Amino acid sequence: MRSWLPVLRDRRRYIAFELEAEDRVGRGDLVGEIRAAQTALFGDRGAAENRLRMISFDGRFGLIRCSHLRTEECRALLATVSSVAGTRAAIRVKGISGTIKAATEKYIPQSILQPNENKRRVDLGPVSGSVARVIGREIDLCPDDRKMTKGSGTRYVGLTSFDLCGEDIDADGTSDGL
């Protein structure tokens, strides 16, 4: 490893983030997208000052390293990512820390529940389609009418179990909403 004078060593911050996306996203695609967003927002000169590196990404949670003076800029930069390789996505910054250990322990949950997938039907008057996936109370619905998501560029319609509860035509007649 290259040695460097301790007093000259650059100071770093680690940004823990969660990727919310409509589909699975690979690490390479995400890195490419962040790089492109960075160059578009700051140009080559500003991008060099950020000193951004992807430390880890497991498909949902990840860690990015940046310069300690540019954390706000990096936060703004991550907010401008709206899609990754054609999939609608959003990066949620969970927190910023000075070491990898602290960032991981504080902000990245160690046990991730896999979203349970199913394909149930939902018919609620104007909204109908099949459930693409369920994450807790949140439901992504693949609408029968593709025009429903026109304008926002998303593939799915976002619902919650609250929408399904108490309706006459519940998805399968149960009271849990699904």
Partner 1 sequence: MNFYECNLHAIPDGSDSASRLALAAKRLGYSGIIITNHTTTGRAFGFDAARLVGGIEVVMGSEIVATNQRALHAKAASLRERSDFLAVHGGDEKINRAACEDPNVDLLAHAHDGRSGIGVAAAKAARDNQVAIGLDLGPMIWHRGASRVRWMETVRRDLDLIRKFDLNLMISTGVKSHLDLRSPRDLVALASLLGLERERAVEALALPKSILDLNRRRWTSVGVELL
Which parts of 121-150 interact with partner 1 (CB under 8 A)?
Answer: 126-127, 137-139, 148-149
**Which span sits near partner 1 by CB under 8 A: 50-58, 81-89, 108-116, 168-176?**
81-89
Which parts of 32-51 interact with partner 1 (CB under 8 A)?
Answer: 40-41
- Spell out a b/e string for 28-61, using b for 16 or more CB atoms within 10 Å of the CB, else e: eebbebbeebbeeebeeeebeebebeeeebeebb
Which parts of 88-117 interact with partner 1 (CB under 8 A)?
Answer: 88-90, 92-93
Distance in Å, CB of 8 to partner 1, minimum:
29
Binding residue (CB under 8 A) for partner 1 from 25, 47, 157, 171: 157
Binding residue (CB under 8 A) for partner 1 from 26, 144, 152, 172: 152
Token pair in block for residue 91: 């990066």
**Which span sits near partner 1 by CB under 8 A: 23-31, 47-55, 154-162, 168-176?**
154-162
Q: What Cα–Cα distance (Å) separates residue 126 from each residue in 97, 148, 154?
A: 45, 10, 18
**Nearest alpha carbon to residue 131 among 97, 90, 159, 165:** 159
- Please check whether residue 39 is in contact with residue 125, taking contact to mean a CB–CB distance below 8 angstroms: no
